[in-house]
Amino acid sequence: MNTPISESQRLFELAQGLMPGGVNSPVRAFCSVGGTPRFIQSAQGCLLTDVDGNRYIDYVGSWGAMIAGHAASEVVRAVEETLRRGTSFGTPTMLEVELAQEIVARVPSVEKVRMVNSGTEAVMSAIRLARAATGRNKIVKFAGCYHGHFDSLLVQAGSGVATLGLPDSPGVPCETVCHTLTADFNDLDSVQALFKELGTEIAAVLVEPVAGNMGVVPPAAGFLSGLREITVESGALLVFDEVMTGFRVSRGGAQELYGVMPDLTTFGKVIGGGVPVGAYGGSKELMAQIAPEGAVYQAGTLSGNPLAMAAGLATLRLLDEDTYRRLELKSARLKESIDELLRDAEIQAVVQRVGSMLTLFFDTKAVRCFSDAARANHARFADFFQNMLRHGVHLPPSGYEAWFLSLAHDDAVVEATLEAVRKSLHGSSVHSG
């Protein structure tokens, strides 16, 4: 059991006077689970230590970036060595070449890559390229998939009906999202319907090949290959947003796992090893359209930053077939053991997992799309989240998020997590009746 959080509370109050919601990214504020976010003092492996001295087993993993665990010695060493040689030059470096080589060697569909500074920037740039390459403007996205916070993709779907998007946030002009079309994840018919009506205007279908931003929702059999067929037929591009799944669900990302090759792929999170970075890539022909080879402008003062390249490279070099196999086994064991605890406690919930990302939905049926995810009992999740935190496990603070394992989550940590789950399910059953 963890102790009081007076210092986190003090800092959160101070932060709320200085930053919107006291945070620099909304989910961190615990809005959907309530309570006080823990201010982290330090982290090592899979353990977070907060400013009050409490320790937590971490399943946030900086939203997936920390697949090697926190402060992994290889990553720390690489960043330290790079740091001493200077942090940014605005001219090319060998580290950029090495990370590009590593990405191209791993990801089947990527022959050339451009580094940027965040996942948002990667997707934004890939969309620009897709529009330029096809001479079309419309983009199909899926309800519940998140692709960063830039204007034209900040559209959530009206549930059910595939429809023209409405902006999801004030400050986004309708004119900006009028080219954004929304379909339902795992529903090829909803995509076909859009192509039937507007096919000649659609530049790209953009998808998280494993949805992770509505909680983990795997692609149904035939969904990704169906998208591949529809896009080829109509001359649109298929863009996989692998900011979360890239180098997470397998060595070559979701496209390797499911054997479906997109035209363009975006990356982030893992390739920065915890330092801000993003990247996008595709065939030589498509990437030749990016400036300075081509006319599609895209630039960045700090793009290819040495610290980010070093952290990303050191992280990728820890990830080989063997480490992915071990991650898979641990993650499978965690999921199956939680399933067992749920059965024993007669609690209606499902755990959905792909590789080392998983989500527990308090719902009776498998979650296949956003409206399913929205139907799950999120109040129940909030309750469970608070219990887990009290028992020393820090889950992502929302029922719509993926939990991430890292190389540092060993068998003992999985056992300790299961013990916390067992206690937390008991704790919450008192409230939910």
* Helix locations, 154-302, DSSP H: 174-177, 188-198, 223-234, 253-258, 284-287
For position 268 contacting ligand PLP by CB under 6 A, the verdict is yes
**Segment 80-139, which members bind ligand PLP (CB under 6 A)?**
118-120, 123
Catalytic residue among 241, 263, 363, 372: 241
Q: Return the number of the residue (8 or 117) whose C-beta is nearest ligand PLP.
A: 117
The span from the first CA to the last CA of the chain, in angstroms, equals 24
Cα 196 to Cα 35, 163, 275, distances in angstroms: 48, 13, 43
CB 211 within 8 Å of CB 254: no
**CA 416 – CA 413 distance, rounded (Å):** 5
CB 385 within 8 Å of CB 431: no
Task: Classify residue 129 as exposed, middle or buried by CB count within 10 Å of its CB (0-12, 13-18, 19+).
Answer: buried
Is 269 a known active-site residue? yes
Hey, is 27 helix, strand or coil? helix
CB 58 within 8 Å of CB 47: yes
Q: Return the number of the residue (241 or 363) whose C-beta is nearest ligand PLP.
A: 241
**Segment 382-401, which members bind ligand PLP (CB under 6 A)?**
none
Q: Which of 134, 180, 182, 213 binds ligand PLP (CB under 6 A)?
A: 213
**Segment 11-30, which members bind ligand PLP (CB under 6 A)?**
none
Instruction: For 69-223, list the strands marked E by DSSP.
Output: 112-116, 138-142, 155-156, 163-164, 166-167, 180-183, 202-207
CB 242 within 8 Å of CB 277: no
For position 241 contacting ligand PLP by CB under 6 A, the verdict is yes
**Segment 56-85, which members bind ligand PLP (CB under 6 A)?**
63
Q: Which of 58, 184, 208, 263 binds ligand PLP (CB under 6 A)?
A: 208
For position 215 contacting ligand PLP by CB under 6 A, the verdict is no
For position 148 contacting ligand PLP by CB under 6 A, the verdict is yes
For position 246 contacting ligand PLP by CB under 6 A, the verdict is no
* Nearest distance, CB of residue 278 and ligand PLP, angstroms: 6
For position 244 contacting ligand PLP by CB under 6 A, the verdict is yes
Is 241 a known active-site residue? yes
Catalytic residue among 112, 138, 141, 269: 269
Taken as a whole, the chain contains a residue count of 433
**Segment 278-317, which members bind ligand PLP (CB under 6 A)?**
278
What is the full DSSP assignment across 221-251?
TTHHHHHHHHHHHHT-EEEEE-TTTTTTTST
DSSP single-letter state for residue 294: S
Interface with ligand PLP by CB under 6 A: which range of 144-152, 170-178, 247-255, 339-347?
144-152
- CA 313 from centre of chain: 19
Interface with ligand PLP by CB under 6 A: which range of 2-10, 178-186, 241-249, 423-431?
241-249
For position 373 contacting ligand PLP by CB under 6 A, the verdict is no
Interface with ligand PLP by CB under 6 A: which range of 39-47, 136-144, 175-183, 236-244?
236-244
Interface with ligand PLP by CB under 6 A: which range of 103-111, 237-245, 247-255, 413-421?
237-245
Binding site for ligand PLP (CB under 6 A): 63, 118-120, 123, 146-148, 208, 212-213, 241, 243-244, 268, 278
**Active site positions, annotated:** 146, 241, 269
